């Protein structure tokens, strides 16, 4: 053994065969010379030649014995120990062999004791942290249901928590992510200055900040008793400003002339009362009556305008929110009869505007009140659009509901709503009414409720399930951003693992990227849903031989963004992180010299694995995944994002082995990685 561990198998075999060959050749030369000198024959001559070859044969046989009985079992033992260090729960695939066979029971006992200790430790940890876990789960649940976008930043303005509402609010903004600076999300010096001057008692500060095409109202406050963490909440101020400059501004503009007309009417009325009836006063009275008439007309006009504006305010009321028709029918169906499906949506789904809880209660009350007129077998629900209204229709086979029944129902109180409003109050809130009509086929009837429509036509995007990595309070313990990156602990690194798929392997001869995928590791943890995955237009045909490997066809990349655009988005995604790849030389060559600078440090799991296990064969991704019990989900091998995620898991498996050897900082790892680089083994084109 050497200071670096076992020599490579090829070197041992080379030395062994060389020594055997030299011994055999030397023995043959010696036997030939001695045979010529002594002129032996018979048994003596045979003994001479056999004795001369005995040294080489002994070396060959001893080497073969050592390889089978010692060196091969040692390599298997080394691989098993590496597997245990990376994953203590991995199965014992390599049972000790040869002269190490006697270690089998001891190793099994060691493995069982190790697992038993881990189990006891996990049990003790779970019992001691049960209360904290319950509070954490309640906090996470609360954060997910909050409709207010919320972020929590550490003293260096790095995001250490955000909720689902914040992710939806900043959808498409690459500045949002755990560990990223708030400056990337809200790049304004005013916000940074205000955060630096926040009082420690939790008093809020409000300001406006631009973000994309919106103005945001940002409320910030220091978390009392913390290490200067800051709570940030955001809301879209653009709508409020438009409202202030729109309907409300017009109302404010109408108030002065309304007051003027009212004062003129009062003055004219007082003057009319004071004029005695006489012939001389007839002309004055006529003029005053004309003034009263004119002012009354003007007043009526302004009152009508104010009424129209108030209707607009009601039309755009804050409680009237966009509703997707399919969601509405499903919610109403669950309210009417949770055990059976009573409503079948038909037609084209659409958006309309309303107070969803109030409308659900309204239809529930309607069906209950008109049970004798409506069928029990079920309804059809349809949305019919016109330029200003969306008709919400409940359809059944039968006759229309009498208007008298609807009149009685309009006065019915909805006791399940706050303040128990009547049906008429809810209809008034929506500036609408409801009626029943017969269909043209004379066999069906419907209840029709007109509601405000909105311009949006696309279906609501499917929300991802709540993610476990919406927060990472350990981010607050990371070194300050301005500290030397070289001295950063490996577990404190913000790492982006990435991989590329290309049209071929000859990047210097025209092959280029067709897919780029990446994922993020923060504080030693792989974030499950924080991913970057983009196809790239190669501006050339993809060879069939390459498609066989990665499965990407010309149709897949048709209409995709060019490489320069995708690399710009990728650079924004990286932020201040360190890059990680397997055989990074190839992937870095694929994205370099394309107009986007990637000057951050780059880690290579291929070189790290070679540095740790120089004597072991096989450092490709498939071999290492098998060695460390990592798995590719079906269909993800040779996809950019799939390979990037396995590379990230491989890094987390190698990390404890690096720490066990005292490699704790980025600087130390880069030195180790550089020493492992072998130009003869480099597979980069």
Of 385 and 584, the one with more pLDDT: 584
The pLDDT assigned to 2 comes to 43
pLDDT digits (tens, 9 = 90+) for 646-680: 999 999 999 988 988 889 999 999 988 888 765 43
**Under a CB-based contact definition with an 8 Å cutoff, are residues 643 and 582 in contact?**
yes
Q: What distances in angstroms separate CA 127 from CA 124, 130, 468, 474, one per listed residue?
A: 5, 5, 21, 22
Name the average pLDDT for the chain.
79
The pLDDT assigned to 78 comes to 76
Q: What distances in angstroms separate CA 567 from CA 502, 562, 593, 631, 674, one per listed residue?
A: 14, 9, 11, 28, 26
CA distance 366 to 98: 84
Whose tokens are 């880069």? That residue is 670
pLDDT for residue 506 is more than 60: yes
Mean pLDDT of 88-115: 70
**Under a CB-based contact definition with an 8 Å cutoff, are residues 216 and 186 in contact?**
yes
Cβ count within 10 A of residue 323? 22
Q: Which two tokens stand for residue 667?
A: 């600087």
Secondary structure class of 160 (helix, strand, coil): strand
Q: What distances in angstroms separate CA 665 from CA 216, 474, 585, one per listed residue?
A: 40, 18, 22
pLDDT digits (tens, 9 = 90+) for 537-548: 999 999 998 998
The pLDDT assigned to 568 comes to 94
Mean pLDDT of 285-308: 71
DSSP 314-373: HHT-TT-EEEEHHHHHHHHHHHH-TTS--EEE-S---EEEE-HHHHHHHHHHHHHHTTTT
pLDDT digits (tens, 9 = 90+) for 55-100: 777 777 777 777 778 777 877 777 777 777 777 777 666 677 777 7
pLDDT digits (tens, 9 = 90+) for 322-338: 888 888 888 888 778 76
Q: Residue 614: which of 670, 659, 672, 557 has the closest Cα?
A: 672
CA distance 558 to 549: 19
CA distance 592 to 598: 7
DSSP 566-616: HHHHHHHHHTTPEEEETTHHHHHHHHSSSS----S-EEEHHHHHHHH-TTS
Q: To 10 degrees, the CA torsion angle through 145, 147, 148, 153?
A: 30
The pLDDT assigned to 242 comes to 58
Q: State percent of the chain over pLDDT 90.
A: 19
Q: What distances in angstroms separate CA 452 from CA 152, 315, 426, 429, 547, one per listed residue?
A: 37, 7, 14, 11, 51
**Beta strands at 205-211 and 214-222: parallel, antiparallel or unpaired:** antiparallel
Q: What distances in angstroms separate CA 540 from CA 171, 460, 510, 544, 685, one per listed residue?
A: 32, 35, 10, 12, 20
Of 153 and 66, the one with more pLDDT: 153
Mean pLDDT of 252-266: 66
Q: State percent of the chain over pLDDT 70.
A: 80
**139-171 as b/e, with b when 16 or more CB fall inside 10 Å?**
ebeebeeeeebbbbbbebbbbbbbbbbbbebbe
CA distance 91 to 540: 47
**Under a CB-based contact definition with an 8 Å cutoff, are residues 152 and 231 in contact?**
yes
Q: Which two tokens stand for residue 55?
A: 């040294």
The pLDDT assigned to 308 comes to 63
CA atoms within 13 A on the CB side of 418: 1
The pLDDT assigned to 533 comes to 94
Q: Which two tokens stand for residue 590?
A: 């694929």
pLDDT digits (tens, 9 = 90+) for 260-280: 766 666 666 666 666 666 655
Continuous H helices in 226-318: 237-245, 247-274, 282-315
pLDDT digits (tens, 9 = 90+) for 570-614: 999 999 899 999 999 899 999 988 889 998 999 999 999 988 888
**510-522 as b/e, with b when 16 or more CB fall inside 10 Å?**
ebbbbbbbbbbbb
Of 434 and 465, the one with more pLDDT: 434
Q: How confident is the model at residue 636 (pLDDT cuts 50, 70, 90)?
A: confident
Sheet holding 602-604, edge to edge: 525-535, 513-522, 495-502, 578-581, 602-604
CA distance 625 to 86: 12
Of 101 and 436, the one with more pLDDT: 436
The pLDDT assigned to 118 comes to 75
Of 538 and 111, the one with more pLDDT: 538
CATH class of the domain comprising 481-682: alpha beta
What CATH number does the domain located at 321-452 have? 3.30.565.10
CATH class of the domain comprising 146-316: alpha beta
pLDDT for residue 315 is more than 50: no
Kindly give, in sequence order, each residue whose CB lies less than 8 Å from that of residue 97, ignoring residues fewer than 6 positions away: 72, 73, 76
Cβ count within 10 A of residue 102? 9
């Amino acid at each position: 053994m050497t200071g670096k561990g076992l020599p490579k198998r090829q070197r041992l075999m080379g030395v062994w065969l060389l020594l055997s060959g030299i011994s055999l050749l030397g023995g043959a030369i010696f036997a030939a010379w001695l045979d010529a000198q002594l002129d032996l024959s018979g048994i003596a001559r045979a003994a001479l030649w056999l004795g001369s070859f005995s040294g080489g044969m002994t070396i060959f046989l001893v080497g073969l014995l050592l390889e089978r009985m010692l060196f091969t079992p040692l390599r298997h033992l080394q691989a098993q120990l590496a597997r245990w260090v990376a994953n203590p729960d991995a199965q014992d695939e390599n049972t000790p062999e040869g002269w190490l066979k006697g270690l089998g029971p001891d190793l099994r006992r060691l493995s069982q004791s190790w697992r038993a200790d881990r189990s006891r430790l996990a049990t003790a940890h779970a019992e001691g942290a049960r209360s904290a876990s319950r509070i954490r789960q309640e906090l996470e649940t609360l954060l997910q249901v909050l409709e207010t976008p919320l972020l929590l930043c550490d003293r260096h303005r790095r995001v250490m928590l955000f909720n689902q509402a914040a992710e939806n609010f900043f959808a498409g903004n690459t500045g949002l992510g755990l560990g990223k600076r708030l400056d990337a999300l809200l790049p304004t010096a005013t916000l940074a200055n205000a955060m630096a001057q926040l009082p420690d008692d939790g008093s809020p500060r409000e300001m406006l900040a631009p973000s994309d095409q919106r103005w945001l109202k940002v409320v910030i406050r220091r978390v009392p008793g913390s290490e200067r963490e800051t709570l940030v909440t955001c809301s879209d101020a653009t709508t409020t400003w438009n409202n202030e400059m729109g309907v409300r501004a017009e109302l404010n503009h109408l108030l002065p002339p309304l007051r003027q007309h009212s004062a003129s009417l009062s003055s004219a009325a007082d003057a009319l009362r004071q004029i005695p009836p006489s012939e001389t006063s007839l002309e004055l009275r006529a003029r005053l009556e004309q003034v009263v008439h004119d002012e009354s007309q003007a007043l009526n006009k302004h009152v009508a305008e104010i009424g129209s504006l108030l209707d607009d305010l009601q039309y755009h009321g804050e409680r009237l929110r966009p509703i997707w028709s399919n969601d509405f029918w499903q919610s109403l169906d669950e309210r009417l009869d949770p055990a059976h499906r009573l409503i079948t949506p038909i037609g084209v789904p659409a958006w309309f505007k309303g107070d969803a809880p109030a409308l659900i209660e309204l239809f529930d009350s309607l069906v209950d009140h008109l049970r004798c007129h409506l069928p029990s077998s079920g309804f059809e629900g349809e949305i019919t659009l016109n330029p200003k209204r969306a008709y919400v229709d409940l359809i059944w086979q039968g006759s229309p509901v009498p208007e008298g029944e609807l009149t009685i129902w309009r006065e019915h109180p909805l006791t399940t709503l706050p303040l128990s409003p009547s049906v008429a109050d809810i209809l008034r809130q929506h500036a609408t009414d409801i009626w029943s009509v017969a269909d043209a086929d004379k066999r069906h009837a419907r209840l029709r409720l007109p509601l405000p429509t909105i311009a949006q036509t696309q279906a609501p995007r499917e929300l991802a399930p709540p993610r476990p990595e919406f927060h990472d309070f350990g981010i607050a313990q990371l070194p300050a951003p301005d500290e030397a990156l070289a001295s950063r602990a490996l577990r404190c690194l913000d790492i982006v693992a990435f991989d590329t798929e290309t049209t071929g392997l000859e990047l210097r001869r025209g092959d280029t990227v067709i897919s780029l995928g990446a994922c993020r590791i923060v504080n030693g943890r792989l974030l499950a849903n924080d991913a970057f995955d983009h196809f790239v237009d190669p501006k050339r045909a993809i060879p069939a031989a390459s498609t066989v490997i990665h499965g990407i066809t010309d149709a897949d990349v048709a209409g995709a963004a060019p490489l320069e655009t995708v690399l710009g988005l990728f650079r924004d995604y990286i932020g201040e992180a360190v890059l990680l790849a397997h055989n990074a030389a190839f992937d870095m060559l694929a994205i370099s010299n394309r107009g986007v600078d990637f000057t951050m440090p780059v880690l290579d799991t291929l070189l790290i694995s070679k540095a740790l296990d120089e004597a072991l064969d096989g450092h490709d991704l498939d071999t290492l995944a098998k060695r460390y019990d990592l798995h590719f989900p079906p269909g993800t091998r040779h996809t950019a994002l799939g390979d990037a995620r396995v590379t990230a898991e491989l890094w987390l498996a190698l990390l404890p082995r690096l720490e066990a050897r005292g490699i704790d900082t980025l600087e130390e790892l880069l030195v180790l990685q550089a020493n492992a680089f072998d130009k003869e083994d480099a597979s980069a084109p």
